[in-house]
Every structure is written in C-alpha cells, then in structure tokens.
Structure 1
Amino acid sequence: MTIITKVTSQKRKGRYNIFIDNEYAFSVSEKILTQFRLLKGTELTSEKIAQIKEAEADSKATELALNYLSYQPRTIAEVKQYLKDKEISEETSESAIADLEDLGYLDDSAFAKLFIKNNLRIGKDGQNSIRNKLLRKGVDENIIEDSLFEINDEDWIKSGLRLIHSLIHQQGKLASKEIERKAKNKLLSHGFSNELIANIISELDLQNDAEEQIEALKKQGAKVYRRYRNEDSFTRQQKVKRYLYQHGFSSSEIDSFLKGELVDLSEIDEA
C-alpha cells in the first residue's frame, strides 16, 4: 500500500502532479483527480494506480479527440487516425471513440447527412463524387447509400443546374449541341449519374433561336477559318468543316458559312 504525500498543480491549467512517498509518481487531469479523490493522505494499491493511469489515458484521448472535433465534424475513421498519429494506443482510442459515440459527438450517419446537405446547398458534386468522398473519409458504404437515398432528385437537379449555370451564357457564342455536350461532360466529371444528367439537361432551354445560332456559327467559323489560313483551300475547308461539325453545327449550317453566305470570308483573312 502506498500513500499520496503531495498534490501540486502544474503551470498547465487543469493538470496535477501526484507524489507518492514524497516522490513524483504521475500526473492527472482535474477530472481524474476528482473522480478518484486523489488527496494528500489517500492510500493507493498498485491495482488502483493502474486503474487511475488507464482512466487518465482514456481521458487524454477523449480530450484530444474533442479538440480535433471542435474545428469541424469528423468521421469515426478520421478521429481514429488522428489519435493513432498522436501515438494513442488502439485500445485507448477505441475506448475514447466509444465514449464520444455515446455522448453523440461521433455519428457517421449524421456526418454523411450533413456532408450531403452542405454539398447540395453550396457544392457542385453529384452522387458518385459524394459517395467516393465519404468512402475516403471511412464512412460505411451502407450508411452512405442510406443517406443518399433520402435525397430527392429535385435537389440533385438544382445542384447540377448551379454547376452548369455559366454555360448557359455561352448561347450565341457556341452551338446549342456544343453547349449540351460541355454541360454533360461537366456534370459527368462531377459525379452525376447519366439519368440525372438527362433530367438536368431537360430542364434547360439549350435551343438557340435562329439568330443566336447564326451568331455562334459566325464567331466559331471565323475563329477556325483564320486558324487554318496557311493551309491550301481544300485542306482548309475540310479542317473547318470537321471542327465546326465536332462543335455542334449541322452540315447545312457549315456549308452556308463556307459559301460566304453568313460572312465575307475574304474579310476574315484580312482581319
């Protein structure tokens, strides 16, 4: 049996040094000091000391995790990795995480729902990108799927429309088919499903009126016609045709341009 002969406070607030038989033994937080009533004259067995040290380790791990969580929400896997980086044992880490789950500070289901909600409010990712991001954060796949299932298609469509909003202003500069192609590629790259992409595109009025389509053809045609000015006439026309066709203009529209019906081609060379 050993006896606590002195208890002193550290410079660090809330920390205390425990002396046994007039020699420093270990330090504890105020929580552990109070929990075990570590006062001068208290008798301790070796088993009790081991219990105190274990509780102190758990308390430290919980404190570290809470501090980590104070900056932003985290997943269980992220907290576990953080504690591992801080050289907290796996057993102690698991105990701290269990305590935080019981207290409601750690909840991967709530995290996933909040993550998706924030993306729908200000982000630009579709279901596939969000799914991959949550998987990388260590969220269980079943939790992710359950959380995604709760979201209505209308909410995804709003997010998708926000993503491609800037492309709508390209009307009159690009062919309507080119705008649609760019929109589809952008949505696909941000993880929207093909079904959702079709729904998002259907919400748009991507059909240029005749005047806008002609204006877009003039701009795109002049740009590419000028680019190939050093080619012979046949090669130049073939390259211009291929470029404009790939950028959404019809054969008849391209022929009108190359015949000079929309713009004087000689003026393009002089520009």
Structure 2
Amino acid sequence: MQITAIEPQANKSEQVNLFVDGQRLLTVSALVVERLGLVVGQELNAEQLAQLRREAAVQQALDRALNYLSFRPRSRQEVHHYLRRRGTAPELIEAVLERLTELGLVDDRAFATFWVESRERFHPEGAQALRSELRARGVAPEIAAEVVSQGDDEERALRAGRKKVQALMRGGAGKNYEAFRNQLGAFLLRRGFSYETAKRVVRLLWHEARASAADTDPADEPMD
C-alpha cells in the first residue's frame, strides 16, 4: 500500500484526505499526518495502517473533548461521561484523557478551584453543598476537602443572604423578624449552610437590614 496523495479538504483546512494506491482511504486530521510523518510515496504495511486508524480515531475524540472544554473547565469524570455519550470506545476515552492530562487541560484540583470560585461569585453555597457537588462530578473527596474550607461558611452565607434580603425587604418580610427569620433561614439551609451558621447570619442580616432601613420597631426585635 502506497500513499499516492494527501489533499486538504476544501472546507476544513485542518482535515486532509489520504489516498492509498489512487483511492481515498480516509479523512484524517492534518495533525495526525504530521505526527506520524506521513508523506506521498510512503509505503504502509498493515501495522502502520492500524496505527493510522487508531490515531485518527483518538484525534477525532480529542477534538470533541476540546470543544466540550471550550465552554468551561471540566472534571475528568465529566469529560469521560461526555465522550461515552458520544459513542467513543472506552480505550479511546482513556487515551484522550491521558493526553488532556499531559496538556494540563484536565486537572481535577484546578477544576474544583474554578467551581468553588464560580459558586462564590454567582451562587454562594455552604461547604457541605460545594463538596457534594464536586464529588458528584468525580472529584476525589480529599481534593474537595482541600479546596473547600468549612471556616469560610459564614462569609459565604452573608454573601448569599444579602442578595436574598433585598427581595425579602421588598416583599414585606423585613418588617417582621419571624417572617424574615423563617424565609431567610430556609433559604440558607437550602444552600447547604448548617443550622448554626444560618441562625447567626439571619440575626446579623436582620440588624443590618433594619439599620439600613432606619425604621426599627422595638416590638419586632428578636429576643435573645
């Protein structure tokens, strides 16, 4: 078997058509042709052809994974599940994950850090909820524990609670401590904060909100 032509595709410059003995054998990434050092006139034996087909399949799966990663960082498990859903063979998935790891594009510790920072910026949650989300995405418990600090929960709860307080004040709950406590407390518990953290933060934000409104009614003050 002799390579008789290597022609770029008209609409996909990164893909080439490989011709063997005058017949188109397959379409493959130009990266694979370069990596294997294929040139016109080269003879291919059965072993080399098998390697070419495998490299082409790995590159195709790698391109899919890179597109998936272009939207946001992913955990190793997320990439694995995505490729499996796309029908990629298990042995190819492992080869792709190995290459992505070598390139630094799949790193569960870096992913966990991204996930926590994103949550803290847009959707603050308690440490328990954050660790649970990371474990659900395949991050090892020890990495999740390392990245998520339980000691930061009160600050997270304050950030989450302040956004919710604005809605509570508009809805009238800001005039009655019991209504304020019930609604904000339930909200914080749903976000994965402990009862004790929620209780402290509710009281802090109640006083903060009342001071801001400059409309304190002694009858509505919480009892110690």
For this structure pair, what is the TM-score category when the shorter chain's length is used for normalisation?
0.7 to 0.9
Match of 2:28 in 1: 28
Query: What secondary structure does 1:43 align onto?
Result: coil
Is this contact kept in 1: 2:127–2:149, CA < 8 A? no
Is this contact kept in 2: 1:120–1:155, CA < 8 A? no
Q: Residue 92 of structure 1: CA displacement?
A: 0.6
Q: Residue 47 of structure 1: CA displacement?
A: 0.6
Is this contact kept in 1: 2:18–2:28, CA < 8 A? yes
Query: What secondary structure does 2:24 align onto?
Result: strand
Q: Deviations over 1:201-255 (max 9, x none)?
A: 34234497996356x7xxxxxxxxxxxxxxxxxxxxxxxxxxxxxxx99xxxxxx
Q: Which one of the candidate residues 197, 212, 215 is aligned to 2:217?
A: 212
Letter in 1 for 2:217: E
Match of 2:4 in 1: 5
Q: Relative to structure 1, is the Cα distance of residues 190 and 152 closer, same or farther in structure 2, using a 3 angstrom cutoff?
A: closer
Please show how residues 14-93 of structure 1 align to structure 2 within 5 Å: 14-93=14-93
Q: Relative to structure 1, is the Cα distance of residues 112 and 150 closer, same or farther in structure 2, using a 3 angstrom cutoff?
A: farther
Query: What secondary structure does 1:152 align onto?
Result: helix
Match of 2:116 in 1: 116
Letter in 2 for 1:27: T
Is this contact kept in 1: 2:76–2:107, CA < 8 A? yes
Match of 1:192 in 2: 193
Rg larger for: 1
Is this contact kept in 2: 1:126–1:160, CA < 8 A? no
Letter in 2 for 1:40: V
Q: Residue 189 of structure 1: CA displacement?
A: 1.4
Gaps in structure 2 of 5+ consecutive residues:
none
- Measure the CA separation in 2 of the matches of 1:49 and 1:140: 39
TM-score (norm: length of structure 2): 0.83
Q: Relative to structure 1, is the Cα distance of residues 162 and 107 closer, same or farther in structure 2, using a 3 angstrom cutoff?
A: farther
- Measure the CA separation in 2 of the matches of 1:138 and 1:31: 31
Name which of structure 1's ranges 13-22 and 44-53 shifts more when overlaid on structure 2.
13-22
Match of 1:96 in 2: 96
- Measure the CA separation in 2 of the matches of 1:114 and 1:182: 30
- Are positions 1:183 and 2:188 aligned together? no
TM-score (norm: length of structure 1): 0.70
Name which of structure 1's ranges 168-177 and 141-150 shifts more when overlaid on structure 2.
168-177
Name which of structure 1's ranges 74-83 and 6-15 shifts more when overlaid on structure 2.
6-15
Q: Residue 94 of structure 1: CA displacement?
A: 0.9
Q: Relative to structure 1, is the Cα distance of residues 115 and 211 closer, same or farther in structure 2, using a 3 angstrom cutoff?
A: closer
| Identity rate, percent | 26
Q: CA RMSD in A?
A: 2.9
